[in-house]
A and B are shown apart, each in its own frame.
Chain A
C-alpha cells in the first residue's frame, strides 16, 4: 500500500520514496551508521555507501519514480546487511557469528528502546530476566513507596545502562539464542528489523491485563516526562538569566569606566573600574594579565551556565564533550596562572612594618583647639572605596595617580603634663625593610600653632607607589584637665566614633549620636581621670 511519499536527499540526489520503504531505508542507514561510525574513516565510508545507494535507486527507476519497499530490499540485497560488512579484521561479522553459535547465552543488560515508557529500563530488565516488563514496572512503583528507593534505583539505572540502539547491542541484550528466535519469527530479509517497531518480548506473549497495564504506564510515563521537561525548562531559564546578568555586571566592571547611568550607591554595591583599581595595587606590568585571566576565569563558568540553560530549555543533543573538556582545561590553567600571579603579588603584602614617630609638643595649653586642615571634601578624587567596618576610606585620583586614605584618630590621657603626638605609619611589604620603606614614604602632616592643633584628615601614598595596606593612626596624649574644643571641620575624622552617657567611646555602644555636632556649641570635651568627658557650655562658663 502506498499512501504517502516522502522526499529524501541521498548522496546529493532527490528521491521520492513511499512511507513503508522509507522506514526500512531509514532503519538500514541507521544500522550502517551504528556499525561504521566508530571505525576509522567511518564517516567517509558511510558517504560512499550512500551515494552508491542513490546510484542503485536511479538504475532501478521504480514505479512512477517512487521508490518502493521492493526497491529498497533489492538495494539491500546488493549492498548487503551491515552485519555482513567486514569492517575490521577483529570485530568482523564472522567472528561475531562464531560467538553467536558457540557462546552460552551471555546476555547483557541494556535499556530497551523497543519496549520503553520512560527510558526503557524496565523493558531491558524484563528481557534480561525473561519476565514481562509489566511486572518490573510494578516492582519499581511499589518500591517507590518505600522511601523512594524505586525511583532512585530507576534513575541510577537510567544513567548507568546504555540503550540497545544498535543491532550488536540488541543481540547482546536478548542473548544470542533469543535474538535468533525473536528475529527468525519475523521472517528473513531486512524488513525484520524495520518491522520491529512494536514490542518484542521474547518467549511468552503479553497478556491482555499486561497490555492494559502497559497502556496505563505509558500514559503515566508521558506525564512524568512532561513534568521533567517543565522542570528542566524552568531551571534552564533561571540558569540563562542568572548567567546573563552576572555576565553583564562583570562586563560593566571590566569594560565601562564608571558607568554614570549605573548608580553604584543605589545598588549598595561599590562597583569600580577594575583596570584602574588594579593599577593601584599590583605592579603595572602584570595588571593586564590579571585582568585577562580574571575575566576568563569568570567568563567560562558563566558561558557554561548559559549554555546548559539553553540546552535544558531546548533539549538538544550536541557533541559538546570535547568543548567542555577544552573549556575546563583552559579554565583550570587560567586559575593556576592567576593563583601564581596573585601569590607572587601577595608576597609583597607578606610583612607589615610599623613606623612610629613621636613628638612631645610641650606643655599643653589649658584650652586645646583641634582643627582639620586638609579635608577630604577639598580633595579632587575620582573614586572612593569604603570599608565601613574598618573605618577605612581610600580615594583614588586619576589626575596624578594619587591615593588618599583616611586616618584614624585616638585620644588618650597623657602620663604627665605634656601634650604628645604619636603618628604610627604602617605598610605591608615584601620584607620588613620593604614595608618600612613604604611606611616612611607615606605623607601625613600636622601642625601645632599656639593652642591650636591642625590635623590632616587624610594621608597620601606618594605617586608611583602602589597601595600596600597602608594605615596611619594619629594618637594624641592630652594631660588631665585640658579642655578640647573640636572644630566643626574635624567631624569627619570621628565619623564612626560615638559617645555614650557623655563618655568618649571608641566603640559604638548602641546610641547613634554624632561625636562632633554641626553646632559647635557642644563640642567641648575635658580630659578626666576616666578619659574624655563632654563638657557643656554652662560648665565652661
Chain B
C-alpha cells in the first residue's frame, strides 16, 4: 500500500463535504474557497476545485451569481441552494457518525 495514495483517497472523500461547509457560512468566490481549503490542507492545487464546483452546481447543490471585481473579469460567487443546505445537513450528521465510529474503533 502507498501512504500518499491512501491519504489522497481520504482527502478526496471529504472534499465535497468541505466545499459545502465553507459555503455554508457565506457565499464565496472560488479563490476564497481554495484559500480556506488550502489552509486546512485538504487540497494542494486549485485545479482540483473547479471540476467539483461545476459538478455540485450542475446537481443543484450550488448556485452562483456574477459580481464585478475591482481588477479583472467579473467573478462567480457561489452559494448554497436550499437543496444544498439540506444535503449539507445530512452530510453533517453522517460526518458526526463517521467520527464517532472511527473513534470507537481507535479507542477500543
> Interface on A for B, CB 8 Å cutoff?
11-13, 32, 36, 39-42, 44-45, 48-49, 51-52, 54-55, 58-59, 77-82, 84-87, 89, 92, 94, 97-98, 101
Q: Residue on A with the closest CB to B6?
A: A94
Bound-complex Cα distance A78 to B52 (A): 17
Bound-complex Cα distance A15 to B15 (A): 33
Q: Name the one of A32, A58, A84 contacting B48, with C-beta atoms under 8 angstroms.
A: A84
Q: Are A48 and B46 in contact (CB under 8 A)?
A: no
Q: Are A86 and B54 in contact (CB under 8 A)?
A: no
Q: Are B51 and A39 in contact (CB under 8 A)?
A: yes
Q: What 14 additional pairs, Cβ within 8 angstroms, besides A12-B73, A80-B47, A94-B8?
A: A40-B54, A44-B54, A45-B54, A48-B50, A48-B53, A48-B54, A52-B50, A54-B72, A55-B31, A55-B73, A80-B44, A82-B47, A92-B12, A94-B9
For A80, the chain B residues whose CB sits under 8 A away are 44-48
Q: Are B47 and A49 in contact (CB under 8 A)?
A: yes
For B54, the chain A residues whose CB sits under 8 A away are 40-42, 44-45, 48
Closest Cβ of chain B to A96, distance in Å, is 10
Check B55 for interface membership: any CB of A closer than 8 A: yes
Bound-complex Cα distance A538 to B54 (A): 107
21 contacts between A and B (CB under 8 A): A11-B72, A13-B73, A40-B54, A40-B58, A41-B58, A48-B53, A48-B54, A49-B50, A51-B72, A52-B31, A52-B46, A54-B73, A55-B72, A58-B72, A77-B45, A80-B45, A86-B15, A86-B51, A89-B12, A92-B12, A94-B9
For B9, the chain A residues whose CB sits under 8 A away are 94
For A54, the chain B residues whose CB sits under 8 A away are 72-73
Bound-complex Cα distance A77 to B38 (A): 13
Q: Are A11 and B73 in contact (CB under 8 A)?
A: yes
For A48, the chain B residues whose CB sits under 8 A away are 30, 50, 53-54, 76
Check B101 for interface membership: any CB of A closer than 8 A: no
Known: A13-B73, A55-B72, A58-B71. A86 touches B58 (CB 8 A): no
Q: Are B50 and A45 in contact (CB under 8 A)?
A: yes
Q: Are A86 and B48 in contact (CB under 8 A)?
A: yes
Q: Which 9 A-B pairs have the closest CB atoms?
A: A80-B45, A41-B54, A80-B47, A45-B54, A79-B47, A85-B47, A94-B8, A45-B50, A79-B46
